[in-house]
Amino acid sequence: MKKIIVLLSLLIITTNIFAFEQSFEPQTDLTVGDKATLKIKADGLTIDNLEEDKLNSLNFGDFELLDIQQGQNGEINFIVSAYKAGKVELLSADIPYTVNGDLKFVKTKALPVEIKSVLDPKKPSQDIYDIKGIFKFGHGILWYLKIILIVLAILILTYFIYRYFKKKTKKITQEEFIRSIPPKEYALSQLENLKTLGLIEKGQIKEYYDKLSDILRFYVSRVYNIEGMEKTTSEFYLLLKEKAPSDFNRQLKEYLGNCDFVKFAKVIPTQENIDEDYQKAKEFINRI
């Protein structure tokens, strides 16, 4: 007996069904798929205290619950829709909500509803009403030719734009960069750079004279527009014979010959000779 009293007490505390107001709009002229509103109003019932996790299990019979909204007059609007034609029933359901931590329920009333079919009763073989006339998709051959020509024009334009910017942004080669610098400025900068390599201090005298003579050869070749980098000293002299002053050409031949002795005959010059040869190279550059 005590267990029954305890169970009844718990039931009274946790479950309470209140009087409420209920309306269903519209009740007539509903067609399959139309939306209708079940309006519920009860003491303490708001959209905020509905038990959302329990609402998913609500069963309204032939009606599907689409949405829940707060009404203007304090009621809760349950938006439902039926997808079955004929006489259907909006089943009774227990709506759970919480007030001051207590779980409460309001029980809706079952309601019979007539749902009209979307089929035309005069044409029972027709699947559904025609909503809009059939749209014929398709164009003539001229329309497709125009589209093709526009696409080709865009592709051609894109190609030329690409070529233009590629040409503008093309990296210049080292040779082009060197030729963009005035010959004398480039040659003198190369002489200064030769000092910083420290070849003499490392004992690489042959390499030092090789670079020294190449700097001078390259400068003279650019000034007199000859291909002298791969020529011997004698061949270089002959190329300059008709272009450079004879005195300059003779002295240059003698100087390059002395460099050749160091490069190929392994003659080791003194530091004084090295400094003199460096200054002579600079003088040759400044003379033309």
| Domain coordinates in residue numbering, the chain | 2-116, 137-170, 175-287
pLDDT value of residue 16: 44
What percent of the chain clears pLDDT 90, i.e. is strictly above it? 34
Per-residue pLDDT, 81: 86
Confidence of residue 17 (pLDDT cuts 50, 70, 90): very low
Residue with the bigger pLDDT between 136 and 43: it is 43
Tell me how far apart the alpha carbons of residues 85 and 87 are, in angstroms, rounded to a whole number.
Answer: 7
Residue 21, pLDDT above cutoff 60: yes
3-state secondary structure (DSSP) of residue 283: helix
Asked whether residue 268 carries a pLDDT value surpassing 60, the answer given is: yes
* pLDDT value, residue 116: 83
pLDDT of residue 120: 59
Is residue 86 over pLDDT 70?
A: yes
pLDDT at 168: 64
Residue closest to 282 by CA, chosen among 223, 236, 216, 206: 216
Indicate the pLDDT class of residue 18, thresholds 50, 70 and 90.
Answer: very low
Residue-level pLDDT at 6: 42
Rounded CA separation 262/256 (Å): 10
Residues 6+ apart with CB under 8 A from 260: 213, 233
Is the model's pLDDT at 226 over the cut of 80?
Answer: yes
7 SS3 class: helix
What pLDDT shows up at residue 42?
80
**Strands 86-90, 30-31: pairing kind:** unpaired
What integer pLDDT is reported at residue 150 of this predicted model? 94
Check if the beta carbon of residue 76 is closer than 8 Å to that of residue 41: yes
Q: In terms of CATH architecture, what is 2-116?
A: Sandwich (2.60)
Rounded alpha-carbon distances, angstroms, from residue 208 to 153, 194, 204, 268: 60, 8, 6, 12
> Mean pLDDT, the chain, as a whole number?
81
Contact 186, 214 (CB under 8 A): no
Closest-CA residue to 40 (of 109, 114, 112, 91)? 109
Instruction: State the Cα–Cα distance between residues 19 and 102, nearest whole angstrom.
Output: 17
**Letter string b/e over residues 239-253, b meaning 16 or more CB atoms within 10 A of that residue's CB:** bbeeebeeeebeebb
For residues 189-216, b (16+ Cβ closer than 10 Å) or e, as one string? ebbeebeeeebbeeeebeebbbbbbebb
CB 93 within 8 A of CB 72: no
Task: Tell me the mean pLDDT in the region 246-264.
Answer: 92
Report the pLDDT averaged over residues 170-177: 65
| Least confident residue range of 84-88, 90-94, 128-132 | 128-132
Written as six digits, the tokens of 89 are 């029933």
Bridging pattern class, strands 111-116 and 30-31: parallel
Higher pLDDT, residue 245 or 288: 245
Band of pLDDT at residue 30, cut at 50, 70 and 90: confident
